[in-house]
Chain A
């Protein structure tokens, strides 16, 4: 897999997120309370809300627009809502973070 460096884990606040801009749109990179890192499309399956702006709890984020709760592990909406965002593979190498952009690139091609 082709891993692309995006920065360090310390760049993201715990229970928070940062955005990575790509030609195919924004990716939200999350850091949980226990320092797990996840990346998903920054686009809620409900009405396209920016998930990176939501409140992070456990391994889920609540969308700031209409409170859908999205699993960071699977990208799927939790609870009664149905829908999913794409998840992007993340590799943590010490302090450094990498994401695999192949999925996105293939979409562009």
Chain B
């Protein structure tokens, strides 16, 4: 005879239990579910993406209506059980439905904790628990008004991020000094706060809520210290409590949760409990992994299957806010018998900490880069002795095994006269001599005594390695973010070593710097190719196979595999003849889209690769050359019409823009470089958000740099004012050359400038005339090899193979 199984609650834990049970004993039970929520089983963990708009509710449903029908399960939606009669073995819902059971499973989950302050019941005060809460928040968010989230834990931060994403002005109140203090150490809490604040969310720590106030609805929150924060929505996310009232009223043993044994049985043998409402071995759980383990055990017991028992284990915590990577696991408090390994990279916002006891991992906090979380978790679970890999443990799994990973080998092999610090001209011998001779012990000492690494700082990694080499374990340098998985060296180290060791080919770099892969990867090869092009313009043969396709075929690849073509229009000026030539090309090659770009020129999109050389040939006849719209190189110089036409113009901005573009086109740079010249401070060419910009004034030319108007928006900084066009050109060229020589591949000018510091750039470009002239000369020299129009080269037959298929086969057979 089929037994009757009644389940109270339809969350993730009982849902998973049913899946296991249906697999093990499909026909044994007639299943009846009472769900207080009026809907099917869904993935509660994914509510945050629903709130932020990254997912729709339909996408997070685990079991749709059809699933219940298919398995013959009766689901009472919107029925809350109000009584359990253990004598009669029945349950009764608030709608008056009574069902009898042979086995009963209580999975009532948890209820949000409401802090007992005045105003907690005002309309506009919500919790964050189920889909109804999310819908209410979404409704409130339409106002795009102010919201306060009380609680800086996992749920609170996810709610805050979601509300912010929906356009609200969000403040998070957290009672402790750092966020997520139960899962994170203070250092990671600090980084998390910075990352959350960077999204425009305000955070107030040590914020004790005194009252929520408002007349008929929420108007704001008052703190203990008297601070008033206006808000039309307050979300309480201060924690959850197991929902145990029903079990308690039925006379079952309860403590913090419903007490169950390690097979999920309550004090009544016919009743089991699982999920967030259950307490096993003194623990209650809120994360999904242990809840799923409970589900597996409960199903096994119901099916009289394997004798599986619940064992406590730590579960990692992850934050589900797009763009913030956070992972925490286990115990990470300091202790006398504990040791820790820490890696920090301030500029990349990375923090990793592994806590060890007896050479075994007991806790991990990862921020900014969490890919190795699972690996650390595994080592912890298996209690692996890590002493063998201790030195490289913190770098993660990719760095284990392999013998070649002595990061000091490359530096040790350097000759004494190899230049380490390019800014101040300091060689290796001078630094190592000072370390031993003067008994230096740290980076600051080396900076003070030798000036190495005291200017732009890009050689810091190498100086630290020299310290390590001389001082051994006594010195512990901060870890460097490697270029990619192929090396443990960072970009700056590689750039310095290319110069110091005179490395002039990619294979030479890979050999001398002990690359871990045979021929690199798509991350390091383009970077190395650029560094070599920049450093040895007259000697290095550009390796086209190490260039991204756009730079290899001098056009922009589109999503459908066709290309777009943008010819140069110097300073954004064109003519009837040029426009006519473009029109003819568009007609002849049936180019599907013609678009004016943001850089004052014309883009032809949808060109087949095979047609590119013919398109360029026609454009070339009209005098066009490549606009390098695809290049990590000089893109456009936008201009306004200046003194030629404009009644406000103070200088010939169009002329200067064209002059700069004609001087600098063809140069390769670490990332794209966009420029503009405006004829007066009204700034019609929008020069103040460019990589380099000029704003003309009566007294001369104000040189701007380090602006951004893409992923980041940032106004430029003023480098200085010069009196003549010639000076303006010299300063701009020198600045770009300094950037070319120092920046990391794909690093835009504003990021490089932030790293180096505006003061240092001004010092080298404006104050130090000989430095400026040297930069200028090196750029001019490099241009001799760079200013070749790649389109006309290819029209004359270079790289023919790129544009033609190797063969056409099989067509005859198909025609038969």
User: Which residues of A are at the interface with B, using a C-beta cutoff of 8 A?
Assistant: 4-7, 11-16, 18-24, 26, 29, 33-34, 47-50, 53-58, 62, 64-65, 67, 69, 99, 101, 104-105, 108
Contacts and interface: CB of A to CB of B under 8 A. Distances in A.
Contacts of B810: 4, 22-24, 101, 104-105
A81 to B, nearest CB: 14
A24 to B, nearest CB: 7
A31 B278 CA distance: 60
Contacts of B518: 33-34, 58
Most A CB contacts (10 A, CB to CB) among B547, B549, B807, B808 go to B807
Interface string B521-560: 1100110000000000000000011111110010001010
Contact of A18 (B559, B561, B801): B801
A67 B545 CA distance: 16
B297 to A, nearest CB: 31
23 contacts: A6-B807, A12-B806, A13-B544, A15-B545, A18-B805, A20-B805, A20-B807, A20-B809, A21-B808, A22-B809, A34-B518, A48-B561, A49-B561, A54-B522, A54-B549, A55-B522, A55-B548, A57-B525, A64-B549, A104-B810, A105-B810, A105-B813, A108-B814
Contacts of A6: 806-807, 809
Contact of A57 (B521, B547, B549, B550): B521
Interface in B750-802: 801
Nearest to A13: B545
A29 B805 CA distance: 10
B520 interface: yes
Contacts of B526: 55
A67 B813 CA distance: 35
Contact of A53 (B517, B546, B557, B808): B557
A16 B809 contact: no
B519 interface: yes
A75 to B, nearest CB: 18
Contact of B545 (A18, A47, A56): A56
A33 B185 CA distance: 47
B811 interface: yes
A62 to B, nearest CB: 4
Contact of B517 (A4, A57, A64, A104): A57
Contacts of A29: 806
Contacts of A53: 549, 553, 557, 561
Nearest to A4: B809
A62 B807 contact: no
A4 B549 CA distance: 28
A62 B553 CA distance: 16
Nearest to B562: A50
Nearest to B546: A55
A55 B805 contact: no
A19 B522 contact: no
A108 B525 CA distance: 39
Instruction: Count chain B CB atoms within 10 A of each CB in A5, A14, A24, A50 and give the residue with the most.
Output: A50
Nearest to B810: A22
B548 A64 contact: yes
A21 B807 contact: yes
B557 A21 contact: no
Contacts of A99: 809
A16 B545 contact: yes
A65 B522 contact: no
Contacts of B808: 20-22
A50 to B, nearest CB: 4
Contacts of B520: 57
Given A13-B545, A57-B520, 10 more contacts: A5-B807, A11-B801, A14-B545, A53-B557, A53-B561, A55-B522, A55-B525, A55-B548, A67-B522, A104-B810
Contacts of A65: 557, 559
A55 B545 contact: yes
B557 A7 contact: no
A34 B520 CA distance: 14
Contacts of A34: 518
A19 B561 contact: no
A20 to B, nearest CB: 5
Contact of A15 (B519, B559, B561): B519
A65 B522 CA distance: 12
A71 B521 CA distance: 13
Contacts of A54: 522, 549
Nearest to B561: A50
- The 4 A-B residue pairs with the shortest CB-CB distance in the complex, in nearest-first order: A62-B522, A18-B806, A23-B814, A15-B545
A77 B470 CA distance: 44
A99 B805 CA distance: 15
Contacts of A105: 810, 813-814
Nearest to A31: B545
A108 B807 CA distance: 19
Contact of A101 (B525, B549, B553, B809): B809
A19 B561 CA distance: 13
A19 B517 CA distance: 27
B809 A58 contact: no
A43 to B, nearest CB: 9
A108 B812 CA distance: 13
B519 A19 contact: no
A57 B580 CA distance: 43
B806 A19 contact: yes
Contact of B559 (A22, A47, A62): A47
A88 to B, nearest CB: 11
A47 B560 CA distance: 9
Interface string B473-515: 0000000000000000000000000000000000000000000
Contacts of B813: 23, 101, 105
B805 A58 contact: no
Contact of B801 (A13, A20, A47): A13
Contacts of A104: 810
Contact of A58 (B519, B547, B557, B814): B519
Contacts of B811: 22-23
Nearest to B486: A57
B549 A7 contact: no
Contacts of A19: 805-806
B522 A57 contact: yes
A49 B553 CA distance: 16
A90 to B, nearest CB: 12
Nearest to A22: B810
B611 to A, nearest CB: 15
A101 B805 CA distance: 17
A11 to B, nearest CB: 6
A62 B521 contact: yes
A99 B807 CA distance: 11
A14 B806 CA distance: 15
B753 to A, nearest CB: 27
Interface in B552-581: 553, 557, 559, 561
Interface string B636-673: 00000000000000000000000000000000000000
Contacts of A58: 517-519, 521
Contacts of B809: 4, 6, 20-22, 99, 101
Contacts of A33: 518-519
A101 B809 CA distance: 9
B607 to A, nearest CB: 14
A13 B799 CA distance: 10
Nearest to A56: B545
A99 B519 CA distance: 26
Interface centre among A19, A34, A67 (most CB of B within 10 A): A19
A37 to B, nearest CB: 11
A26 B548 CA distance: 20
Nearest to A8: B806
Interface string B87-103: 00000000000000000
A82 B549 CA distance: 23
B745 to A, nearest CB: 14
Given A20-B806, A21-B808, A22-B809, A64 B557 contact: yes
Contacts of B806: 6-7, 11-12, 18-20, 29
Nearest to A10: B801
